[in-house]
């Protein structure tokens, strides 16, 4: 569902729909037991730290993204 669809369906503003969409995604992730993906910049930083020898547990060094 997009923010525009949410806005039309529940007759709310686009800005309110965008905020609510983030909350809905969070609820779905929590229900499924999955975690939010890290942004690419954070992944790159953690991989660089791993290459320097720092202990990083949250990133698989062999993962593509």
Indicate the pTM of the whole model: 0.57
Please indicate, yes or no, if residue 56 is contained in any of the structural domains.
no
Which residues constitute the domain of residue 46?
3-51
Please indicate, yes or no, if residue 19 is contained in any of the structural domains.
yes
3 contacts: CB under 8 Å, gap ≥ 6: 14, 17, 18, 21
Q: What is the pLDDT of residue 62?
A: 63
Q: What is the pLDDT of residue 59?
A: 78
- State what percent of residues in the chain have pLDDT above 90: 71
Please indicate, yes or no, if residue 61 is contained in any of the structural domains.
no
- State what percent of residues in the chain have pLDDT above 70: 92
Count of structural domains within the chain = 1
- Which residues of the chain are under the pLDDT cut of 50? none
CB atoms near residue 56 (< 10 Å): 16
């Amino acid at each position: 569902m997009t923010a525009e669809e949410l806005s039309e369906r529940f007759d709310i503003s686009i800005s309110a729909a965008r905020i609510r969409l983030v909350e809905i995604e969070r609820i779905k992730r929590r229900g499924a037991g999955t975690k939010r993906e890290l942004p690419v910049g954070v992944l790159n930083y953690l991989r660089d730290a791993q290459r320097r020898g720092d202990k990083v547990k949250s990133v698989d060094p062999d993962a593509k993204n």
